Structure 1
Amino acid sequence: MRSTPAGRSTPSTADLQALLDVSLTALALLRPRYGADGAAVTDFACAYLNPAGRQFLGQPAQAEQSEETLLTLFPNARENGLLAFCARVFATGVADHFEVSYTADELDHSFRVAARRQGKQLAASFTDLTSTPCAAVETALRASQAAETVARADAQRQRATLARYLGRTHAAICVLRGPAHAFEYSNPTFEQLFSGRRLPLGSPLAEVFPATLAQAVVPALDGVYASGNSFFGVEQALTLAVGTEPASRHYFTFSFDAYEEDGRTAGVSIFAYNVTEEVEARQHTEALQAEVLAAARQQLHERDTFHEVFEQTPALVALLRQPGHRFEYVNPAYQALFPGRALVGHDLAKAVPELQAQGFVDLLDRVYQTGETYFGAEMPFVAAPAKGAPEHVEYFNFTYQAFREADHVAGVSVFAFNVTPQVLARQQQQQASQALSESNRLLTATNDDLDTFIYTASHDLKTPITNLEGLLHALQEELPAALLHAPGVAPLLERMQQAVDRFQLTIAQLTDLTKLQRAGAQPAETVDLATLVDDIRLDLTQQLSASAAHLEVDVASCPRVSFAPKNLRSIVYNLLSNALKYRDPARPAQVRLRCRSTEDGPVVLDVRDNGLGLTDGQQGQLFGLFHRLHDHVEGSGIGLYMVKRIVENAGGTITVQSTAGVGTTFTITLPPTAVGPLTPALPL
């Protein structure tokens, strides 16, 4: 023994060991064991038991090599709440006591556990209430408590029975204690919602649940705990990883209910049922039909349960029972098909004879005899018209399905949808499509005739104009030199020759017009745009020299273009020649041709000049056939019309921006093309 400054003695280790050895109270030091996640307390290892404790628990005087645990010493510790009590005291650090009943040697016993956290261990004492000696003055009290003890033991048995039930039920059940909603109990079904791991007893729910789930649940739990009023949820959607499955959407119907101890709210219980399958089934029309019809067949006496569903659905529902396919039930939608007729209780052939006449009764007979379901798609049905009303056809998608009673086919259920609007709309669309096809055929024939006419006319005019040109040349050779150079004759002959040249150009371009209809059908090839422009530059050498024009070409971003070569050449040639033809004589001509493109994007080709430009009114007439906006230069007014037709036939667009006296920019957008290796800009 050692003396303290206050004169009191502190027991030595040997003295304390002697006290523990002679103590009649069972004492133990328990060390927590954790689950795989390192957070949840799943059991307690018995680090020390004094002799009274070993006697109390029926253990040998000397400890074996293996270490006892709370669950091996008390197999029902999880069901009777002892494990949860120890975990809570260890987690909170608040000392507490707990009474529990158990059965041993076919006798009911009751003991009290007092526990307090001691560092990283839990100190506990166990007092057997049924064997503790009593003073004489307590005898009467003990006798009066005997009934209570028996009742408590019975309650404990009931609790154990309930715990076994809760462990097997499909409902997810959890008990939370205190305002922090600390876990006190959770059954396996509840734990299965969190990958099957044991939830740490005594830990607040907010620390265990995923953050998003906790944010949704905790406010509702707070409300129940504060008010004592239950909170209900019906088919609420939550994203959880149930069991070993990956996270997915599940649906739950649940309730949060407050429970009391000593007249005050002690915590909240959670009772939830996973209704995912039911919700998903209801979300699918076919599953809904199957459920409704199955319920109608198997539980016809519960018709009121489904009455509202049948009464309000636009689908036609009927139940027919043998013999004679007697109507047992029809919903308002089915009855509306036969207004004014009594159906229920009558055989189908008598109540609706047109169904038999149109072959539907034969189908019902086959379903009844074979038990095989029949599906009808867009079946026409002609109901007997009401007096004075015209006869009309309606179309239905329907199912005839046999239903059974006592393993025998008892009748047929009918589930049908009126699809008349859809059928009529499709028929009208087919008629419109046929009419459009006929219009396209006529338009194609007209275009072919027009092409033939243009070709024939241009061909037939070539000979007369050629003869006229020959006669003009002959006239020039026959005229005397003095007359040929006379002031009035030479200009006249020149104008005649110019008229012949324009006529020949017009005939040639009319011939090209006949090819436009077939331009889209010409196969696309990979065209080297720089080479194509260089060839056109050679053709325009005379115009370039005469106008002293500077032509800049930049095709670096799309040197290779997939397009019909002749059509692409016609586009570029017309735009460049027009830029030179309609230059402004007051300043040197500047023409720039640029092509740009992105990967898998359209090809954009633009030609910009500083020529005469166009007014807004002239731009509106620019692409018209035979429209010429400047008469001081030669032309037939057909070139830009052809360019526009070629571009649009290929699925592209052409636009123009122009200012009179400043210049003009033509922009052509062609469908996506294959772009080859880049080459530098080509200055000409």
Structure 2
Amino acid sequence: MLPPAAAALAPDAILLRELLAVSLTGIIFYSPVHAPTGSGDIIDFAFEYLNPAAQRMMSMPEVPTLTHNQQWPHSIAHGTFQFHVDAFVTGEPREYNVNYQADGYNNYYRLAARRAGAGLLVSFTNPADQPRSPVEVALRESQPLRREDGQITGVTVVATEVTEQVRARQQLEQLKQELEARVQQRTEELSTQQNQLQQILGEVPAAIALLTGPEHHHTFFNATYQTLAGGRARPGLAVAATYPEVAEQGFIDLLNEVYTTGEAFRGTEWPTQLLSSTTSQPELHYLDFIYRALPDAQGQSQSILVFAVDVTEKVLARQQTEALQADLLAAARRQAQERETFRNVFEQTPALIALLRAPEHRFEYVNPAYQALFPGRLLLGLGMAAAVPEAQEQGFVATLDRVYQTGETFFGEELPFAPTPVEGQPLCTQYFNFTYQAYREGGLIAGISLFAFDVTEQVLARQQRAAREQQLRDLFEQAPVAIGILRGADYVVEVANPLVARLWGRTPAELLGRPVFEALPEARDQGFKELLDEVRQSGEAFVAEGVPAQLLRGDTTQTVYLNYVYQPLRDADGTVTSVAAVGTDVTAQVRDRQRVQELNDQLAAINGQLEASNAELATSNTQLTRTNVDLDNFIYTASHDLKAPISNIEGLLYLLQEELPTAVVQDQTVGPTLTRMLDAVERFKRTIDHLTEVSKLQKEHTPAADSVNLAAVVEDVRQDLLPLLQETGTRLVVDIAATPPIHFAAKNLRSIVYNLLSNAVKYRSPDRAPHVDVRAHIRAGHTVLEVHDNGLGLAPAQLPKLFGMFQRFHDHVDGTGIGLYMVRRMVENAGGRIDVHSQLGVGTTFFVYLPHTANLGAQPFLPFLPS
């Protein structure tokens, strides 16, 4: 800070240098060392000057060549380095007390620092550097004499006789008197100092405590220690009782080790969980602490001095700083990578990108997509008006001028631009979404960035779509039937042609944009909403004929009859978003049918005359029934009589197999032959069993019907087939929970479901994973059970024979061809029917129409309202 040559200095500077030379306080002047990354963070301090006192106390030259952290590497852990940084950054005076026991030092230091210009001025003192009086020197070489009660009665002095023994004794006597007086004075001073020391320790910012005995009872602790303890410390209370949470963190073990070995333990930034005094929840602290054993006169550990500093804020601040530095470094790397990435993206993106410089909008950069808009033209280095004259003609250059002058970004949407075509090509107008944005250098506008997308296809497609929509509206307007389209769960009227408006008794203005039941309140309670919900949720169309509806005609409500279709409309994802309603007013036709009914009543009398003929037919039917019964009895008797001989044949075959020699049985001809014969017998037995079942089925024309839960039956069958489903890896999906009860014989319904599901698994395709869907829905007095599979499927020529007795189309699966015949008989005997759709190599779907107790046919419907 001050040059060595003082002759050229002004009087004030000379006085300052002399003052620093005689000062008993150490003075150091530093200059900060900043991080090379440009972040401005201080990472060290360089020495500029040490006064003589500082040189003596630190054993260092006037201008050391090492930096602060090189001279004292542990200063960061002790917090002194951060103290210097805080004093420099804030510019405020700071003070700091530290017991520095590292880097060859073991002293208490008191520091004061503040920023001075571009440097940092630090003043410090070291109590061990103070000179001692001759008496204190003598005391250091003397031993006090104590009585048994510990009272000092004298001092033994070790001295060296220099010349004469007498003179030495006189001096010794004089010294003894002085020492006695000094001892008395020092005793009083020590008492005073002890009180002062306790006061100082009570105010020092470090946590200090004295723990006595092997249980580490609190003998002394200061206010800072009590704060750290959350107010739980008590004189005489052991550490384990004060901090039960620290036992499992190893602190008691550390205290035991220090107490046993007498060796001090130092912890630096030690993570510690302490209970909060406010929340009683664990809080993380970082502590710098020392456990130092204090021995008794015999050298045994008697107490442990605890000196701790809560450095949580410093550690967290450093961690945040380190994290921030890591983030900044990562951000810098990302920026470099992003710049390269952006350039690659610009080169490869289909968007048109250009950078225009200066007022004339000179091209500084164009990506390939922009250059492709003007094939064969030179753009770089030229102004927009010169390189692209058509841009000036079409007004784009004027827009660029405004952006350059005002700095306001311009957004263009679907604006047309017609570039001059290559010779021989027609003029073609293209459409673009683009931005003109000014960029700045040094706070001033330097140019404009151009970013554009070619949206020609979208614009043309929208124009074509608009034209098609207009055509569709025209078609709706001119259609000879009533057409309406309802959107969403509220069935908002999107389209209503004149005929549907006339049919609903409203004008188009009263319908469009309103929920249909708000526009037609009289239809709300006629059951139409439920039907609309069913169509929208199931995604299946609904067709109705001659359905009555109560609609307003003027001021009165009239009954009209309608034929209508509700057709669900889906978006690109297949989701039903709207429902189209197409209907016609068939009131006149229904009235005609009613008149026809009246004529039919007139014919009732004629029908009476035909009853006699019907009686004769009934007699014939009775005879046919008896013939059928005789046939059934024959089948039953034949199957029963055949069981005994076939069983005998089977027994003889097994006996033959046992009696033949092993070599014969294993013969390539005899063995397989016996196996085929046994298989034929087994198939014959199954056929007889099935004939018996058919016979029973023939007799059950009206089996006892119950109200059966279809979902429960399907689940029961699924449990029976579970091993087969798991073995074949079949995915079975069932969705029939919402169906009403079915009026059917329970055992027959189970047989139907079992046959259909087991066939779906048995006739699976080897080319794909088996998948079976089982669904059910309601159709006019029936519950329709659907069984879909992705199996082998059937050819069209095979379908008419599918339900015949003993019909089989796949020989690789065991069966007799009776199952589907029985399924159809059971369904038809109950008043239902069964249909099948199949495609060879794709799969098969069965539709089983089963009667149920509900009667949807009695519900009123509104055919012209979309559902």
Does the TM-score normalized on the shorter chain lie above 0.5? no
Larger Rg: 2
What's the TM-score, normalizing by structure 2? 0.28
What's the TM-score, normalizing by structure 1? 0.35
